């Protein structure tokens, strides 16, 4: 019975509410990605938290499952032991981060980090960037969420948060301290590897 209930919750959470988290235009293609690759490999505790988060009035703020899967893979590849997350909603991506860390890794609030995920107030992204360049080691990874801001960076570039996001994207692209990549997953994910 328990697994049936989880399956139904899964289906509900996998519907239009999750599609709203991605810039991918095709809902059926996004559904396919989730069902073929993401959900079959999703740990039980992560699925339960995702389903619980889906009923939250501000569920749109939670990271998307495919994005969380990507971050988990990157954390594994990085061999990360210490991670920091700036902007925790229900802790969905935080839990995914914790799951991807080896047993001797732990979440701490200060120190020397291998990985950081930033999903906080967009107007302060550049401030977080400066701070995180102190906290994340050379070779470590900083991931910034919502860096395409629902496409508003081109659709309505003068909207305040779109303008702040554009300013951030310009600054990051020009920052010699990081290697960067803008990924069109979820609402836009910018990866920065610290190189100096």
**Residues in touch with Ca ion (CB under 5 A):** 119, 145-146
**Residue placing its CB nearer to Ca ion in the complex, 66 or 119:** 119
**Residue placing its CB nearer to Ca ion in the complex, 119 or 175:** 119
What is the 3-state secondary structure of 83-142? EEEECCCCCHHHHHHHHHCCCCCEECCCCCEEEEEECCCHHHHHHHHHHHHHHEEEEEEE
What gap in Å lies between CA 87 and CA 84, rounded to an integer?
A: 10
**Residue placing its CB nearer to Ca ion in the complex, 6 or 126:** 126
**Min CB(4)–Ca ion separation in Å:** 31
Residues near 63 by beta carbon (within 8 Å), at least 6 away in sequence:
21, 71, 92, 93, 96, 119, 145, 186
- Tell me how far the alpha carbon of residue 162 is from its chain's centroid: 18
**Residue placing its CB nearer to Ca ion in the complex, 97 or 146:** 146
What gap in Å lies between CA 20 and CA 12, rounded to an integer?
A: 13
**Residue placing its CB nearer to Ca ion in the complex, 66 or 145:** 145
**Min CB(87)–Ca ion separation in Å:** 8
Pair of tokens at residue 140: 């470590």
**Min CB(60)–Ca ion separation in Å:** 9
* Residue closest to Ca ion, measured at CB: 145
CB 23 within 8 A of CB 65: no
């Amino acid at each position: 019975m328990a697994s049936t209930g989880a399956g139904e919750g899964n289906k509900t959470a996998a519907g239009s509410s999750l599609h709203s988290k991605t810039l991918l235009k095709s809902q059926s293609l996004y559904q396919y990605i989730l069902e073929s690759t993401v959900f079959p490999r999703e740990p039980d505790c992560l699925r339960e938290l995702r389903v619980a988060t889906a009923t939250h009035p501000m569920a749109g703020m939670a990271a998307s499952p495919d994005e969380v899967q990507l971050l988990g893979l990157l954390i594994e590849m990085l061999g990360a032991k210490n991670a920091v997350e700036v902007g925790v909603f229900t802790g969905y991506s935080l839990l995914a981060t914790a799951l991807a860390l080896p047993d001797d890794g732990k979440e701490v609030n200060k120190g020397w980090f291998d990985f950081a995920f930033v999903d906080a107030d967009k107007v302060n992204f550049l401030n977080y960037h400066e701070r995180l360049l102190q906290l994340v080691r050379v070779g470590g990874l900083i991931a910034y969420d919502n860096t395409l801001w629902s496409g508003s960076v081109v659709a309505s570039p003068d909207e305040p948060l779109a303008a702040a996001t554009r300013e951030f994207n310009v600054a990051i692209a020009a920052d010699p301290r990081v290697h960067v990549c803008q990924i069109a997953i979820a609402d836009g994910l910018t990866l920065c590897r610290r190189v100096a």
